[in-house]
Chains A and B, each alone.
Chain A
Protein backbone atom coordinates (compact mmCIF):
# COMPACT_ATOMS: atom_id res chain seq x y z
CA UNK A 1 0.00 0.00 0.00
CA UNK A 2 2.80 2.40 0.96
CA UNK A 3 4.60 1.51 -2.24
CA UNK A 4 1.58 2.33 -4.38
CA UNK A 5 0.54 5.59 -2.73
CA UNK A 6 3.81 6.77 -1.25
CA UNK A 7 4.20 7.91 2.36
CA UNK A 8 2.72 11.35 1.70
CA UNK A 9 -0.22 9.85 -0.18
CA UNK A 10 -0.87 7.36 2.59
CA UNK A 11 -0.77 10.09 5.25
CA UNK A 12 -3.10 12.21 3.13
CA UNK A 13 -5.47 9.27 2.71
CA UNK A 14 -5.48 8.58 6.47
CA UNK A 15 -6.11 12.28 7.19
CA UNK A 16 -8.98 12.38 4.69
CA UNK A 17 -10.52 9.21 6.11
CA UNK A 18 -10.17 10.41 9.71
CA UNK A 19 -11.81 13.74 8.81
CA UNK A 20 -14.67 11.96 7.05
CA UNK A 21 -16.33 11.39 10.40
CA UNK A 22 -16.24 15.14 11.05
CA UNK A 23 -18.53 17.88 9.85
CA UNK A 24 -17.75 21.61 9.88
CA UNK A 25 -20.65 23.94 9.06
CA UNK A 26 -20.88 27.71 9.10
CA UNK A 27 -23.84 30.02 8.52
CA UNK A 28 -23.19 33.73 7.95
CA UNK A 29 -26.07 36.22 7.76
CA UNK A 30 -25.36 39.55 6.05
CA UNK A 31 -22.09 41.48 5.95
CA UNK A 32 -20.01 42.29 9.04
CA UNK A 33 -20.87 45.61 10.71
CA UNK A 34 -17.99 48.05 10.51
CA UNK A 35 -18.02 50.88 13.07
CA UNK A 36 -15.73 52.98 10.82
CA UNK A 37 -18.60 53.45 8.33
CA UNK A 38 -20.35 55.66 10.94
CA UNK A 39 -17.48 58.15 11.15
CA UNK A 40 -18.80 60.50 8.46
CA UNK A 41 -22.24 60.91 10.09
CA UNK A 42 -22.88 64.26 11.83
CA UNK A 43 -25.62 64.49 14.51
CA UNK A 44 -28.42 66.83 13.47
CA UNK A 45 -27.12 67.10 9.88
CA UNK A 46 -26.78 63.67 8.27
CA UNK A 47 -30.04 62.53 6.70
CA UNK A 48 -31.61 59.12 6.19
CA UNK A 49 -30.05 59.01 2.72
CA UNK A 50 -26.57 59.66 4.19
CA UNK A 51 -27.21 56.81 6.58
CA UNK A 52 -28.38 54.54 3.77
CA UNK A 53 -25.26 55.38 1.77
CA UNK A 54 -23.00 54.57 4.73
CA UNK A 55 -24.72 51.46 6.06
CA UNK A 56 -27.40 50.40 3.58
CA UNK A 57 -31.04 49.80 4.45
CA UNK A 58 -31.70 48.64 8.01
CA UNK A 59 -33.07 45.22 8.89
CA UNK A 60 -35.61 46.77 11.24
CA UNK A 61 -37.14 50.19 11.96
CA UNK A 62 -38.81 50.95 15.27
CA UNK A 63 -40.28 53.97 16.96
CA UNK A 64 -37.72 55.49 19.32
CA UNK A 65 -37.89 58.21 21.97
CA UNK A 66 -39.06 61.14 19.83
CA UNK A 67 -37.72 59.64 16.64
CA UNK A 68 -36.83 56.31 15.05
CA UNK A 69 -34.31 53.58 15.62
CA UNK A 70 -32.69 51.77 12.69
CA UNK A 71 -31.36 48.34 13.57
CA UNK A 72 -28.72 46.42 11.60
CA UNK A 73 -27.82 42.79 12.24
CA UNK A 74 -24.96 40.45 11.36
CA UNK A 75 -24.91 36.80 12.40
CA UNK A 76 -22.20 34.14 12.45
CA UNK A 77 -22.86 30.52 13.49
CA UNK A 78 -20.44 27.61 13.56
CA UNK A 79 -21.30 23.97 14.11
CA UNK A 80 -18.98 20.99 14.37
CA UNK A 81 -19.94 17.34 14.64
CA UNK A 82 -17.90 14.16 14.98
CA UNK A 83 -19.40 10.77 14.19
CA UNK A 84 -17.48 8.26 16.27
CA UNK A 85 -19.50 5.43 14.76
CA UNK A 86 -17.97 6.21 11.39
CA UNK A 87 -14.86 4.13 12.12
CA UNK A 88 -17.09 1.02 12.25
CA UNK A 89 -17.75 1.48 8.52
CA UNK A 90 -14.28 0.13 7.95
CA UNK A 91 -15.30 -3.20 9.50
CA UNK A 92 -19.07 -3.48 9.04
CA UNK A 93 -21.36 -2.74 6.11
CA UNK A 94 -23.82 -0.94 8.40
CA UNK A 95 -22.57 1.31 11.16
CA UNK A 96 -24.61 3.16 13.76
CA UNK A 97 -24.19 6.91 14.11
CA UNK A 98 -22.59 8.07 17.35
CA UNK A 99 -22.43 11.83 17.04
CA UNK A 100 -21.12 14.46 19.37
CA UNK A 101 -21.65 17.99 18.19
CA UNK A 102 -21.77 21.59 19.27
CA UNK A 103 -22.84 24.86 17.70
CA UNK A 104 -21.97 28.41 18.64
CA UNK A 105 -23.54 31.52 17.22
CA UNK A 106 -23.26 35.26 17.75
CA UNK A 107 -25.35 38.19 16.53
CA UNK A 108 -23.86 41.64 16.21
CA UNK A 109 -26.39 44.49 16.44
CA UNK A 110 -26.01 48.14 15.53
CA UNK A 111 -28.64 50.67 16.65
CA UNK A 112 -28.83 54.05 14.97
CA UNK A 113 -31.15 56.62 16.57
CA UNK A 114 -32.76 59.35 14.44
CA UNK A 115 -34.22 62.66 15.63
CA UNK A 116 -37.85 63.65 14.94
CA UNK A 117 -36.69 65.56 11.82
CA UNK A 118 -35.15 62.25 10.65
CA UNK A 119 -31.54 63.33 10.96
CA UNK A 120 -28.86 61.19 12.58
CA UNK A 121 -28.66 61.47 16.38
CA UNK A 122 -26.39 58.76 17.75
CA UNK A 123 -25.45 55.12 17.31
CA UNK A 124 -24.83 52.21 19.63
CA UNK A 125 -22.85 49.20 18.54
CA UNK A 126 -22.55 46.31 20.93
CA UNK A 127 -19.02 45.33 21.94
CA UNK A 128 -17.97 42.46 19.68
CA UNK A 129 -18.74 39.18 21.45
CA UNK A 130 -16.28 36.32 21.30
CA UNK A 131 -16.14 34.95 17.79
CA UNK A 132 -17.70 31.49 17.60
CA UNK A 133 -15.38 28.48 17.48
CA UNK A 134 -15.54 25.04 15.98
CA UNK A 135 -15.64 22.42 18.75
CA UNK A 136 -17.53 19.16 19.04
CA UNK A 137 -17.66 18.51 22.83
CA UNK A 138 -21.20 19.30 24.00
CA UNK A 139 -20.75 18.77 27.76
Chain B
Protein backbone atom coordinates (compact mmCIF):
# COMPACT_ATOMS: atom_id res chain seq x y z
CA UNK B 1 0.00 0.00 0.00
CA UNK B 2 2.86 2.29 0.89
CA UNK B 3 4.52 1.35 -2.36
CA UNK B 4 1.28 2.22 -4.26
CA UNK B 5 1.05 5.67 -2.72
CA UNK B 6 4.74 6.30 -3.37
CA UNK B 7 4.25 5.25 -6.97
CA UNK B 8 1.23 7.56 -7.28
CA UNK B 9 3.14 10.46 -5.76
CA UNK B 10 6.11 10.00 -8.05
CA UNK B 11 3.72 9.67 -11.00
CA UNK B 12 2.14 13.04 -10.17
CA UNK B 13 5.53 14.53 -9.45
CA UNK B 14 6.72 13.56 -12.90
CA UNK B 15 3.60 15.01 -14.55
CA UNK B 16 4.67 18.50 -15.70
CA UNK B 17 1.07 19.65 -16.27
CA UNK B 18 0.04 18.86 -12.72
CA UNK B 19 3.20 20.38 -11.31
CA UNK B 20 2.69 23.58 -13.30
CA UNK B 21 -0.93 23.81 -12.19
CA UNK B 22 0.07 23.27 -8.56
CA UNK B 23 2.84 25.87 -8.82
CA UNK B 24 0.44 28.34 -10.44
CA UNK B 25 -2.08 27.84 -7.66
CA UNK B 26 0.59 28.31 -4.99
CA UNK B 27 1.84 31.52 -6.61
CA UNK B 28 -1.73 32.76 -6.95
CA UNK B 29 -2.55 31.96 -3.33
CA UNK B 30 0.55 33.77 -2.13
CA UNK B 31 -0.35 36.89 -4.10
CA UNK B 32 -4.02 37.36 -3.40
CA UNK B 33 -5.59 38.22 -0.08
CA UNK B 34 -8.05 36.00 1.71
CA UNK B 35 -11.50 36.67 3.00
CA UNK B 36 -13.03 37.94 6.22
CA UNK B 37 -16.41 38.40 7.82
CA UNK B 38 -16.37 40.70 10.82
CA UNK B 39 -19.22 41.90 12.99
CA UNK B 40 -19.17 44.75 15.47
CA UNK B 41 -21.92 45.71 17.91
CA UNK B 42 -22.10 48.70 20.23
CA UNK B 43 -24.83 48.73 22.87
CA UNK B 44 -27.48 46.24 23.89
CA UNK B 45 -30.45 45.34 21.66
CA UNK B 46 -33.82 46.85 22.61
CA UNK B 47 -36.27 43.97 23.13
CA UNK B 48 -39.82 44.82 21.99
CA UNK B 49 -41.35 43.49 25.23
CA UNK B 50 -39.26 45.89 27.31
CA UNK B 51 -40.24 48.82 25.11
CA UNK B 52 -43.90 47.89 25.54
CA UNK B 53 -43.55 48.24 29.33
CA UNK B 54 -43.18 52.00 28.81
CA UNK B 55 -46.72 53.37 29.13
CA UNK B 56 -47.60 56.89 28.08
CA UNK B 57 -48.95 58.98 30.98
CA UNK B 58 -47.93 56.35 33.58
CA UNK B 59 -44.25 55.39 33.44
CA UNK B 60 -41.87 57.87 35.02
CA UNK B 61 -38.23 58.76 34.48
CA UNK B 62 -36.92 56.42 37.19
CA UNK B 63 -38.75 53.40 35.79
CA UNK B 64 -37.38 54.05 32.29
CA UNK B 65 -33.87 54.34 33.73
CA UNK B 66 -34.37 51.04 35.61
CA UNK B 67 -35.38 49.27 32.39
CA UNK B 68 -32.77 50.70 30.01
CA UNK B 69 -30.10 52.22 32.23
CA UNK B 70 -28.76 55.73 31.99
CA UNK B 71 -29.46 57.30 28.60
CA UNK B 72 -26.67 57.98 26.10
CA UNK B 73 -27.98 61.52 25.73
CA UNK B 74 -30.57 63.81 27.26
CA UNK B 75 -32.04 66.35 24.86
CA UNK B 76 -34.17 69.35 25.85
CA UNK B 77 -36.58 70.40 23.12
CA UNK B 78 -39.94 72.16 23.05
CA UNK B 79 -40.46 71.83 26.82
CA UNK B 80 -39.73 68.09 26.76
CA UNK B 81 -36.87 66.22 28.31
CA UNK B 82 -35.95 63.39 25.94
CA UNK B 83 -33.91 60.31 26.84
CA UNK B 84 -31.92 58.97 23.90
CA UNK B 85 -30.66 55.38 23.75
CA UNK B 86 -28.53 54.15 20.82
CA UNK B 87 -27.31 50.86 19.44
CA UNK B 88 -25.04 50.20 16.45
CA UNK B 89 -24.48 47.03 14.44
CA UNK B 90 -21.93 46.65 11.64
CA UNK B 91 -21.14 43.80 9.28
CA UNK B 92 -18.05 43.62 7.09
CA UNK B 93 -17.65 41.24 4.17
CA UNK B 94 -14.24 41.08 2.54
CA UNK B 95 -13.12 38.81 -0.30
CA UNK B 96 -9.82 39.25 -2.14
CA UNK B 97 -9.84 42.94 -3.12
CA UNK B 98 -13.51 43.79 -2.58
CA UNK B 99 -15.04 44.76 0.73
CA UNK B 100 -18.19 46.36 2.03
CA UNK B 101 -19.01 47.52 5.55
CA UNK B 102 -22.67 48.07 6.36
CA UNK B 103 -23.54 50.00 9.52
CA UNK B 104 -27.01 50.36 11.00
CA UNK B 105 -28.28 52.17 14.08
CA UNK B 106 -31.26 51.72 16.39
CA UNK B 107 -32.58 54.68 18.32
CA UNK B 108 -34.97 54.79 21.24
CA UNK B 109 -36.31 58.24 22.16
CA UNK B 110 -38.45 58.62 25.30
CA UNK B 111 -40.23 61.98 25.69
CA UNK B 112 -41.08 63.19 29.19
CA UNK B 113 -43.47 65.98 30.18
CA UNK B 114 -42.39 68.61 32.77
CA UNK B 115 -43.69 66.29 35.55
CA UNK B 116 -41.25 63.56 34.46
CA UNK B 117 -43.94 61.23 33.08
CA UNK B 118 -43.60 59.58 29.64
CA UNK B 119 -45.36 61.58 26.93
CA UNK B 120 -44.27 59.65 23.85
CA UNK B 121 -41.90 56.88 22.72
CA UNK B 122 -40.22 56.64 19.33
CA UNK B 123 -38.28 53.54 18.41
CA UNK B 124 -36.70 52.55 15.13
CA UNK B 125 -34.98 49.26 14.40
CA UNK B 126 -32.66 49.62 11.42
CA UNK B 127 -30.07 47.06 12.51
CA UNK B 128 -32.36 44.23 11.40
CA UNK B 129 -31.68 45.32 7.79
CA UNK B 130 -27.89 45.17 8.14
CA UNK B 131 -26.47 42.35 6.00
CA UNK B 132 -23.09 40.86 5.21
CA UNK B 133 -22.21 42.01 1.71
CA UNK B 134 -18.96 41.82 -0.24
CA UNK B 135 -19.71 43.43 -3.59
CA UNK B 136 -19.05 47.19 -3.24
CA UNK B 137 -20.66 48.22 -6.53
CA UNK B 138 -24.29 49.01 -7.28
CA UNK B 139 -26.82 49.78 -4.53
Sorting the interface of chain A by its residue count into under 10, 10 to 19, 20 to 34 or 35 or more gives: 35 or more
User: Within 8 Å CB of B123, what residues of A?
Assistant: 52, 57
Give the residue among B33, B75, B125 with the most A Cβ atoms within 10 A.
Answer: B75
A39 within 8 A of B: no
A23 contacts partner chain B, Cβ-Cβ < 8 Å: yes
| B101 pairs with A27, CB closer than 8 A | yes
Nearest neighbor of A17 in chain B, beta-carbon distance: B31
Majority DSSP secondary structure for residues of B touching A:
strand
Q: How large is the interface on B (under 10, 10 to 19, 20 to 34, 35 or more residues)?
A: 35 or more
Inter-chain contact A118/B101, CB cutoff 8 Å: no
Given contacts A24-B136, A68-B78, A134-B136, contact A57 B106 (CB under 8 A): yes
Minimum CB–CB distance for A94 against chain B, Å: 13
* B61 sits at the interface (CB 8 A): no
For residue A34, which residues in chain B have a CB less than 8 angstroms away from its CB? none
Q: How far is the CA of A37 from the CA of B2 in the complex (A)?
A: 71
Q: Which of A26, A63, A68, A118 has the most CB of B within 10 A?
A: A26
Give the distance to chain B from A93, nearest Cβ to Cβ, in Å.
10
Does the CB pair B97–A20 fall under 8 Å?
yes
Asked whether A22 lies within 8 Å of B97 as measured between CB atoms, the reply is yes
- The answer on a CB contact under 8 Å between A27 and B78 is no
**Distance of A40 from chain B, by nearest CB (Å):** 17
Q: Which of A12-39 contact B (CB under 8 A)?
A: 13, 16-17, 19-20, 22-32
Contact of A62 with B75 at beta-carbon distance under 8 Å, contacts A24-B97, A27-B101, A57-B108 already known: yes
Query: Which of B28, B33, B129 is within 8 Å of A31, CB to CB?
Result: B129
Task: Report whether B77 and A63 are in contact in the complex, using a CB–CB cutoff of 8 Å.
Answer: yes
One of B5-13, B16-24, B36-44 at the interface: B16-24
Given contacts A4-B17, A29-B103, A31-B129, contact A13 B120 (CB under 8 A): no
Interface membership of B68, Cβ < 8 A:
no
Residue of B nearest to A32 (CB): B139
Which A94-119 residues sit within 8 Å CB-CB of chain B? Answer: 114, 116, 118
Q: Tell me whether B26 is interfacial, beta carbon within 8 Å.
A: no
**Please, could you name 13 A-B residue pairs with CB atoms under 8 Å apart, sorted by A?**
A1-B20, A4-B20, A13-B24, A24-B99, A25-B99, A48-B122, A56-B125, A57-B107, A57-B108, A59-B107, A61-B109, A62-B77, A64-B77
Report B's interface with A, CB cutoff 8 A.
Answer: 17, 20-21, 24, 28, 31-33, 75-78, 82, 84, 96-109, 111, 120, 122-126, 129, 136-137, 139
